[in-house]
Amino acid sequence: MTLSSAPVLDLYGEDFRARPHEVLGSLREQGWYAQSPIGPAVLRYEPVQALLGLRQLRTPGADFLALQGITEGLLVDTMRSFLLNSDGDVHQRLRRLVSKAFTVRRVEDFRPTVRAHADELIAAMAATGEADFVAAFAEPFTLRILCEFVGIPEGMSLEVKRWAEDIGLMFGLSVTEHAPRIEAALLNLHRFIDDLIEARRREPRDDLLSALMAAEESGDLLSDAELRAMVITMLSAGQGTTQHQLGHAMVAFMAHPDQWQLLADRPDLAVNAAEEVVRYCPSSVLGVPRIAKVDVELQGTVFAAGTCLLPITGSANRDSDVFENADAFDIGRKRTAQLTFGGGAHYCLGAALARVQLQEALPRLAASLRKPVPAGEADWLPPTEAVYGPTRLPIAFQQGSSQ
């Protein structure tokens, strides 16, 4: 198969917007990659996994903005500053320093706080019998967790969330349309973070920002600009992805009530359930594009230097060559590594925190909200955005026994 003969993935078509997994499944049967407006879209598990680990590729960073006609200014400078868009020695240095602060142990120590916030919000929601799941649980839960973990003062959390949501638009396919909104949010968040850094410098606390400021290797520390970029990355990428993942989870479980009952009866399946949700209905379908630094061979096909390759992790996660009965939602399935969190040098830094939130929230929700069903039309972000999921999700349920 050559690129010119490969099937076409219309990212902007109504079919993909309405039924992304069906569209991807049909294309996957025709070959391991497809044409897209961005570049070759890789669809199957093995080549996607290989692509994610190739050092001959880099994340597009500002190139992704250039594809949309933005070649200079605040958005370009900001995009270049993110850890995800650094490469080589620069990336290795930043990753080493950040990893000294953002550790699995720090996340695990935070688990009781995650559990307490989940219990409080679930108790309030369970008493109602009907709620917008996003407004009542998914949004406030993930916002509280991320802000407390990073060190954002409680009184600023909603304003910071609005800025972070606007900045998150910079990673989608409609940046030109939203550029003024993104720039305003960046300026506001820059001022806020700079003030917060000064406050933590005067009085360090037990939060991630203080730990990042203290992270040191052979006298090397993160600069204020690097700290600012790191906090913006966490806020714009960390809260929305997990919020929408919880929304996707509720939609999937409502469509599979036997799995919801199984989780209520078997809370020990929490880890499995979290992995299956992330595999079956990820809050990011497309994955992060990669640019070939040199000519790259993948599955016997050579892609020229400069080619933008799109590793569609949401498609790879349903590859029937790897996952038995891949289109079924089964929290008891034998686990094979899903690719939603990426791979290689740019494996998602916040994966551990996202997993803990899902592992703690899902079994508690299943125990307290019995027989959940849709209670109205949901509103959705399109799958072409950086995060994909419901922004409004009305549900009705029976009250169960809390854990």
Lowest-confidence segment of 135-139, 302-306, 327-331, 334-338 by average pLDDT: 334-338
Span 30-47, pLDDT tens digits: 999 999 988 999 999 999
- Encode pLDDT of 368-390 as tens digits: 999 999 999 999 988 877 788 99
Judged by average pLDDT, the poorest of 88-92, 270-274, 292-296 is 88-92
Q: How far apart, in whole angstroms, are the C-alpha atoms of residue 333 and residue 271?
A: 11
Q: What is the pLDDT of residue 25?
A: 96
Phi first, then psi: what are they for 25, rounded to 5°? -65, -40
Domain of 12 in residue numbering reads as 3-381+388-399
Mean pLDDT of 247-251: 98
pLDDT recorded at residue 238: 81
Q: Which of 58-62, 206-210, 231-235 has the highest mean pLDDT?
A: 206-210
Contacts of 211 (CB under 8 A, 6+ apart): 100, 101, 102, 106
Q: Is the pLDDT of residue 164 over 90?
A: no
- DSSP summary character for residue 134: I
| The pLDDT value given to residue 402 | 47
Q: Is the pLDDT of residue 403 over 60?
A: no
For the chain, give the mean pLDDT. 92
Count of domains for the chain = 1
Whether 1 has a pLDDT exceeding 80, the answer reads: no
Tokens of 168: 């998150």
pLDDT digits (tens, 9 = 90+) for 206-221: 999 999 999 987 788 9
Q: How far is CA 311 from CA 39, 150, 240, in A?
A: 10, 30, 21
**CATH (domain of 278):** 1.10.630.10
**CA-CA distances (angstroms) from residue 321 to 14, 28, 45, 344, 370?**
28, 11, 8, 22, 35
Which of 147-161, 168-182, 262-276 has the largest mean confidence?
262-276
286-305 as b/e, with b when 16 or more CB fall inside 10 Å? bbbbbbbeeebebeeeebee
Of all residues in the chain, what percent carry a pLDDT higher than 70? 98
Candidate ranges 63-67, 95-99, 247-251; pick with highest mean pLDDT? 247-251
68-81 pLDDT, tens digit per residue, is 899 999 999 998 88
Segment 353-362, tens digit of pLDDT: 999 999 999 9
